[in-house]
Structure 1
């Protein structure tokens, strides 16, 4: 059998079995690449089929020239790839490009899977196709001389295709990174009150200078000024201590590497995933989120439902663009109060009541700390033990037995410590006013930390 009939026959056999070949490639991709395993076969099938048909069409054209080998050009993006010449007369192959729309589809896929996995996917697919092609050629008594030029042709085409995809994905990633940073900057300007709003003129047009500096004129492209949104600030829950988690500063990228769950980018990704159904979005469908001092912040379309143990969220009231900064302050106070009280879930300033007021009035808290707790500081470890006793007593609803069990001490021991606390600080734990001031001082210290 002549090479001129062997190659077309092998290609025709693979074309006839394209569905089975596609399924085999998809199975291998999902088995070997975890990022592809989360994609359904239906999502992958169109892209895999197009790639297979394009590669087979190249070989089919090569064999149609009537030569065992060829010297030609397969274009990707950038310089052409020259195919090697052999002992038989050479001919020029036409340019083989990616089908229309295929590069866009692969670039979109790169937003969900790493680019290196896409490259690996082409290698895996090429290996399977080449093995199946070799089997078909062997069944037709094909020789190594028949296969060598075809292998070189396919390698050059695969290299050009991969290079173009990598360049396209890299350019797309750079564009999206710049856009995401711009969007985050605009959201941050809204939340922090850095956007300056001007009145609308009698003709209904906006006046100049609506936004500060380089932000001017860019907001309308990503945000509807008249829509009501809920400003939020969120944090992933921290392990609780006996007094609940302290409201310590959020981790920064310097403390944890990029991608770490507790780094700024890791926390952003996890928080966005948890809040995804309720996030407000821009015209392109991207969430309106940013980070403020290492914590995730942004805008919600509606209040989250069913969010329990996975996130702590401070929430502002629905407001237009001009009122978001004020509501973000209240959302921040709600978050601080919730974290300092060991709570998880979604809370507004009003829902946290006096806890949020402790956050909003730090000067009052400092005065009460000096009045009710400062005398204990002079007694060192003994004073700290007395403060711990009162904190446990209040935490357990002023139930002596329960507080003693929480501290692993006898009730009489706890009773003695509470009495000494009253003597040293001049406080009566039976006086509601004194009791409220002690609670405020303890809560202030837990939320704001010790005075510097």
Structure 2
């Protein structure tokens, strides 16, 4: 079928629909009232919006669909709905529900069209053509809503990222902060814990982010999160004790939003240390044990390692075996049997290597200072 023939057939179908829907205006009000009652009953957020406002907007959608089917043309003008969707968005009306209402409204009007076509004795093939075109229009309008949704999502993500960055950097003045917090759903008097993760970490996927949002929000306070300079940063209203995550996520102490910067800095510091030692899951500074001690003074660590480990390094593979054995000995809290089992060695071999370590390095693992220093040097290694 060539383009002219296809276009002519589409216009014929559109014309039939227009002729069947001439007097449907009287039914718009009842359909809008019916849909409004349905939305308020089944969708909690609609309880927060005045009934008249929902009904007015629902009627506007139905009238757009009605004007389309009365237009006697298959061409779709999306400008009106785009502007209407943007206006609804500023009114905090969920556009996902608007898209749904278009589909429902189109089905209601299609039901009227089908019933009247049947009454007039139109063939099933013609009726199917009518319904197909109605569905095409409804789908096209839903696509407009989804495009505005995407437009809003990009804009919101940018605004949210700027807000979170400025909040943790302490850029808001005391007078401007409360309004900014409320704008983004943050309660000024509530204590939040700031979490931080490497957004480029392959383990940090959409499932991890969804888990944080689902488990760490409350009924009244959502998680506020954003990507800031390649880091995922989130303000958590609550933190379940049983929260398990498949990626490394560091958490700072609970703090008022005005002190979010301090919580963020602690989370970032914790993240850097935990990542260095290949930790995973949700971690806080206290949960890292003595590992934070290893984050200081690289030059001193290298110097001490050179002083104490040089005699072992000079012995090549034998020295390396002694170092690895002592490292395992410390990991197993100086338990000879556990160390031997982990390394598949005889207990006496472990004892011998630990003894030689002390003789060659001058570090006595029975002395507290030497024990701490040995642990620090070997873990830095």
User: TM-score range with shorter-chain normalisation?
Assistant: 0.5 to 0.7
Contact 1:232 1:299 in 2 (8 A): yes
Select which of 153, 171, 194 maps to 1:196.
171
Contact 2:193 2:238 in 1 (8 A): no
Residue 414 of structure 1 is matched in structure 2 by 350
Contact 1:230 1:316 in 2 (8 A): no
Select which of 427, 437, 442 maps to 2:373.
437
**Alignment partner of 1:401 is 2:351:** no
Residue 227 of structure 1 is matched in structure 2 by 189
Deviations, residues 354-403 of structure 1 (Å, cap 9, x unaligned): 33333366565455444444554555544433322111101111111110
> Could you tell me how far apart the structure 2 residues matched to 1:412 and 1:418 are?
10
- The 4+ residue runs of structure 1 with deviation greater than 6 A are none
> Could you tell me how far apart the structure 2 residues matched to 1:377 and 1:251 are?
39
TM-score (structure 2 length as normaliser): 0.62
Give the direction of change, closer, same or farther, for the CA distance of 1:360–1:189 in structure 2 (3 Å limit): farther
**Alignment partner of 1:278 is 2:216:** yes
Which secondary structure state, in structure 1, belongs to the residue aligned with residue 240 of structure 2? coil
> Unpaired runs of 5+ in structure 2?
1-19, 22-41, 44-57
Comparing both structures, which one devotes a greater share of its residues to helix?
2
Select which of 162, 181, 206 maps to 2:158.
181
> Unpaired runs of 5+ in structure 1?
1-6, 9-41, 44-49, 63-69, 80-97, 211-216, 236-249, 254-260, 446-452
Which secondary structure state, in structure 2, belongs to the residue aligned with residue 428 of structure 1? coil
> Could you tell me how far apart the structure 1 residues matched to 2:228 and 2:380 are?
22
Residue 108 of structure 1 is matched in structure 2 by 96
> Could you tell me how far apart the structure 1 residues matched to 2:313 and 2:234 are?
41
> Could you tell me how far apart the structure 2 residues matched to 1:363 and 1:293 are?
29
**Alignment partner of 1:167 is 2:144:** yes
The number of equivalent residue pairs is: 319
> Could you tell me how far apart the structure 2 residues matched to 1:314 and 1:377 are?
36
**Alignment partner of 1:147 is 2:125:** yes
**Alignment partner of 1:357 is 2:268:** no
Deviations, residues 141-175 of structure 1 (Å, cap 9, x unaligned): 9674x632x44433332222211211211111111
Residue 303 of structure 1 is matched in structure 2 by 239
Q: What are the within-5 Å matches in structure 2 for residues 330-369 of structure 1?
A: 330-338=266-274, 346-350=282-286, 352-359=288-295, 365-369=301-305
